[in-house]
Structure 1
Amino acid sequence: MRYAVRTSFGATGLVVLLGVVMTMLDTTIVNVALGALARDLHTTIASVQWAATGYLLAMSMTVPVTGWAVGRFGVRNVWLASLALFVAGSLLCAAAWSLGSLVVFRVVQGVGGGLLQPVGQLMLAQAAGKERMGRAMGLISVPAMLVPVLGPPLGGLLVQGPGWRWLFLVNVPVCAVALPAAFLLLPRESGAGQRQRLDVPGLALLSPGLAAVIYGLSEVGNGASPLHPALWIGLALVAAFARRSLRDTSLLDLRLFGDRTFGAAVLALACYSAAMLGFTVLVPLHSQLAAGGTALEAGLLLAPMGIGAALTMPLAGRLTDSRGPRGVAAAGVVLVVASIAGFVLAGGPVPMFALGLGHGLVATSVMAAAFRTLEAAAIPAATTLSTITLRLAGPFGVALAAVLLQVLTRAGVAQPFPYTFWVAAGLAGVSLLPIALIGSGTWRGSSSAPA
């Protein structure tokens, strides 16, 4: 089956950016409106958090069907349907009249958004080819890094101005451009429409398993016990799926991890993402709880990081394409670890800006490395696997940071935050081990198409 989208890299990049910006924005823009939503919908803040949680869980549960949907209906059709579903969910959320209706409509929105990111990554990887993989990942990494940071400030402006319903209506003009752009710029690809079997039993294990793990980790991050039932039930379901997947690869082919380039890159991304998500959650908490800063001051602390990353991501893409990913990624991790150390010792915006410079090098180069040795037919499954791994790594990093902070506080440590920052630095440093394998001449050939 041919998955490749035969269109220009620039046109594909435009289409993907329009879709990814919306979905990433909606992961954080609602967080600042919980108070207004609770007031207008006559409920509690604890209950209204399901408007944010439902979106994230729906996104996670949808990702596993990416490969099957692309093979059955084609990249173009899946992208258009996901955009339409996302904007329909946005309009419904804006018209919500109760908490129940809002949560249901956020799930609709999340189902569309859950497909957009991996399918967009797939389209970019196919359009770029191996020779431009670094630039492709740099293109998608910039909004993935900047947009979630910009979500809370934009959400605050909308809530204080026209009201919380505009948190969702803001997607409509973007979709009004994204849908016709995709319709006009993405050609119909050959190979779609084949009767590919959907592994329903596998999906019944993996999708609820992922949702349960992510929900359990989020609860642990909010102060619940690491023995939270949802976490362990989810892990059991995912483990059962993994065992089954070794016999039936129709939903996800876990044997792709046998490609050492892909496996090492995904492992590096998992360690690094867990460290960075944990760190970026701790920084605002430290600003407010330990330093006495305001919510706005806490949010602005992350701005230099976003600026630094935006500067180096395009450069990292070009360097990765010309010189390979290993050196670029290793340099980025070293800079990130040194910047976290600088933040612990001195604080201020300069270490955060330097951290952003390093982050831009790591995120782009390692993601590009993950796809460099794969055959075109393996990329749909690879994008799904990498997306699932990162969806799990982020909440794990946040939960680890939260648990460590709670343990240190209960132990009577006077200043617990520096210790948690050092742990984040150490976890980021661990990613150097799999990064060192990228490009190793001792590897066997790609196993992206196992016998």
Structure 2
Amino acid sequence: MSSPAAAPAPEKLDAAVLKIAGVIVLGAIMSILDVTVVSVALPTFQSEFGATYARVAWTMTGYTLALATVIPLTGWAADRFGTKRLYMAAVLLFTAGSGLCATADSIGQLIGYRVLQGLGGGMLMPLGMTIMTRAAGPQRIGRLMAVLGIPMLLGPIGGPILGGWLIEAASWHWIFLINLPVGAIALGYAAWALPKDAPEPSESFDFLGMLMLSPGLASFLYGVSSLPEAGTVTDIKVWLPALAGGLLVIGFVLYSFKPKHPLLDLRLLRNRNLTVSAVTLVVFFVAFMGAGLLFPSYFLQVRGESTLHAGLLMAPQGLGAMVTMPVAGMLADRMPVGRTVPFALLLVATGFFTFTQVGTDTSYVLLCGSLFVMGLGMGGTMMPVMTSALKTLTHHEVARGSTLLNILQQIAGSIGSATMSVILTSALNDSPVIPGAVNPQSGEPITEAGLAIAAQQNPAVTQQLPVEPGALQRGLQFVADSFGTTFTVGFVLMVVVLVPALFLPRRREESHLLEDTRGGGGEVPTAPVAMH
């Protein structure tokens, strides 16, 4: 660790930092890959387990919710047990969860094992960034984000492609089994490369806050996600958990201002820059992560593409982000983000608009070009906003501010995926029923939209049911319109993000991190926020 008398760290990231970065990048890619790999497998889970889209979407929502649940524990546990030991434990838990996912024989089991995976995956990112920031120093946060951001984007680019190929070439089980050898390598690499632990327990853990926030979030999102299946907000399965969860979260917010070391330090929101950044990121993640989950499903269910082709069609988005992220990282160290982020958000919104108009034969050139433009904007948005939020915090505030932004990001992603799947499922439920057609598994009537989705995966189903001419085409158009409606909600939210983004700092502000480390504790601050 640095001391006040130590020589200033070089501007470039040296070999020692890059060696540690290799460990963190490997863990990050493994964790992020698992989000994007599963996104292309959702229709496969639907047919494999005979479940609704809203139900299988919980394999994503449960994972991200588990990430949000465990993040507040990470800072305290890192002080208590040491970052190296905790990081290796997180890799082990994630890898074990992956192996269990491959053994699931029901959608309920798969969701449960995904939650276990998320508990490990949730610690990987904040722990990795804590380790990296201590190694690199606060004055290189922007460059650090840029270097780590590029390999992290291999997840969004390679995940759908890898997932599609594994499902086609083998089975869905292999999208989880692939983590076993990677996890073993990551464990060995971490044992060799990470510095030895020197745990120094400093703060008491807010167990009461944890008992309110985590169950509250889980209960609220469960109620919201049950809406498509229940069909009405008056169903007890919807309103009771949503109400109970909402009350717990409100109780947590009121309580969190009392403890000396709360689970989430909401007092930091008095910092205007942090508040504006947090609001910008929350709305951005609700829109982008929620709707982004549905892009592969559009290619699979409307266009009838294979899982591999759907993954390849998603690659332009990651490539676009790879172009702008390193530039944005350097700019974040040199100029106010308020001068760059609004333009990046305009790029995202422009690309997003195309998807509000999708049909059954929309040009792939137009769609892939729009994904690339969205990626350009995404690469210029997330990391600069996060970096800006941390720059005005003092040394002792950074760990708490990082935890706050991390958990808000994961909560927003969970809410986004739950909300968008609710909107899509509700829209699809309005499709006309085919007279005399019944689902042999559930005994429920089959709609034109349901028939169209099933026919894209297996054309033979149309020969087994009494279908009038034109029903299939009408159903396919209805599905496309339902996706367009859902994407429109995401687009409107993306436009709304521009409002808080206009309040981001437009004047250069000196980082308090350097002043604080020179004048006091000497220890470099912990984790900046990282995307997931």
How far the C-alpha of 1:355 sits from its partner, in A, is: 1.6
Identify the residue that residue 241 of structure 1 maps to in structure 2.
Answer: 252
The structure 2 residue matched to 1:330, chosen from 329, 342, 346, is: 342
How far the C-alpha of 1:269 sits from its partner, in A, is: 0.9
Query: How many residue pairs were aligned?
Result: 442
1:33–1:360 distance in 2 versus 1, CA, 3 Å: closer
CA contact (8 A) 1:12 1:124 kept: yes
Q: Given the alignment of the two structures, is residue 316 of structure 1 paired with residue 328 of structure 2, yes or no?
A: yes
Identify the residue that residue 304 of structure 1 maps to in structure 2.
Answer: 316
For 1:67-95, what per-residue CA distance to the aligned partner results, in whole angstroms no more than 9, with x for missing partners?
A: 22122222222212211222233344445
How far the C-alpha of 1:332 sits from its partner, in A, is: 0.5
How far the C-alpha of 1:203 sits from its partner, in A, is: 0.9
CA distance in 1, matches of 2:83, 2:486: 42
**Counterpart mapping for 1:4-23 below 5 A:** 8-23=16-31
CA contact (8 A) 2:356 2:491 kept: no
The structure 1 residue matched to 2:185, chosen from 163, 177, 187, is: 177
1:426–1:139 distance in 2 versus 1, CA, 3 Å: farther
1:219–1:117 distance in 2 versus 1, CA, 3 Å: farther
Q: Given the alignment of the two structures, is residue 76 of structure 1 paired with residue 84 of structure 2, yes or no?
A: yes
For 1:317-352, what per-residue CA distance to the aligned partner results, in whole angstroms no more than 9, with x for missing partners?
A: 112122232222122112222233355578432222
- Cα RMSD over matched residues? 4.0
Which sits farther off after the overlay, 122-131 or 229-238? Answer: 122-131
For 1:190-227, what per-residue CA distance to the aligned partner results, in whole angstroms no more than 9, with x for missing partners?
A: 5x232632222111111112222333444457785467
CA contact (8 A) 1:86 1:109 kept: yes
Normalized per residue, the structure richer in helix is: 1
Identify the residue that residue 211 of structure 1 maps to in structure 2.
Answer: 218
**Counterpart mapping for 1:10-159 below 5 A:** 10-30=18-38, 44-45=50-51, 54-94=62-102, 105-142=113-150, 145-148=153-156, 150-159=158-167
The structure 1 residue matched to 2:397, chosen from 360, 378, 385, is: 378
Matching residue's letter, 1:247: K
Matching residue's letter, 1:75: T
CA distance in 1, matches of 2:511, 2:296: 45
1:211–1:301 distance in 2 versus 1, CA, 3 Å: same
1:36–1:298 distance in 2 versus 1, CA, 3 Å: closer
Identify the residue that residue 193 of structure 1 maps to in structure 2.
Answer: 200
How far the C-alpha of 1:275 sits from its partner, in A, is: 1.9
1:31–1:356 distance in 2 versus 1, CA, 3 Å: closer
How far the C-alpha of 1:436 sits from its partner, in A, is: 2.8
CA contact (8 A) 1:343 1:352 kept: no
**Counterpart mapping for 1:350-369 below 5 A:** 350-369=369-388
1:144–1:270 distance in 2 versus 1, CA, 3 Å: farther
1:421–1:93 distance in 2 versus 1, CA, 3 Å: closer
Matching residue's letter, 2:320: G
**Counterpart mapping for 1:283-302 below 5 A:** 283-284=295-296, 287=299, 292-294=303-305, 296=307, 298-302=310-314
Matching residue's letter, 1:234: G
Instruction: Extract unaligned runs of 5+ from structure 1.
Output: none
Identify the residue that residue 281 of structure 2 maps to in structure 1.
Answer: 269
> SS in structure 2 opposite 1:198?
coil
Q: Given the alignment of the two structures, is residue 433 of structure 1 paired with residue 499 of structure 2, yes or no?
A: yes
For 1:419-448, what per-residue CA distance to the aligned partner results, in whole angstroms no more than 9, with x for missing partners?
A: 65454333223323333333256999979x
> SS in structure 1 opposite 2:37?
coil
Higher CA-based Rg: 2
1:67–1:220 distance in 2 versus 1, CA, 3 Å: farther
How far the C-alpha of 1:149 sits from its partner, in A, is: 5.3
Matching residue's letter, 1:436: L
1:122–1:401 distance in 2 versus 1, CA, 3 Å: same
CA distance in 2, matches of 1:408, 1:95: 31
For 1:141-168, what per-residue CA distance to the aligned partner results, in whole angstroms no more than 9, with x for missing partners?
A: 4455551453343233323434444333
CA distance in 2, matches of 1:87, 1:341: 38
1:78–1:358 distance in 2 versus 1, CA, 3 Å: same
> SS in structure 1 opposite 2:35?
coil
Which sits farther off after the overlay, 142-151 or 113-122? Answer: 142-151
> SS in structure 1 opposite 2:258?
coil
Which sits farther off after the overlay, 365-374 or 292-301? Answer: 292-301
How far the C-alpha of 1:298 sits from its partner, in A, is: 4.9
1:45–1:400 distance in 2 versus 1, CA, 3 Å: closer
Identify the residue that residue 438 of structure 2 maps to in structure 1.
Answer: none
CA distance in 2, matches of 1:292, 1:87: 34
CA contact (8 A) 1:197 1:250 kept: no
CA distance in 1, matches of 2:490, 2:88: 39
Matching residue's letter, 1:241: F
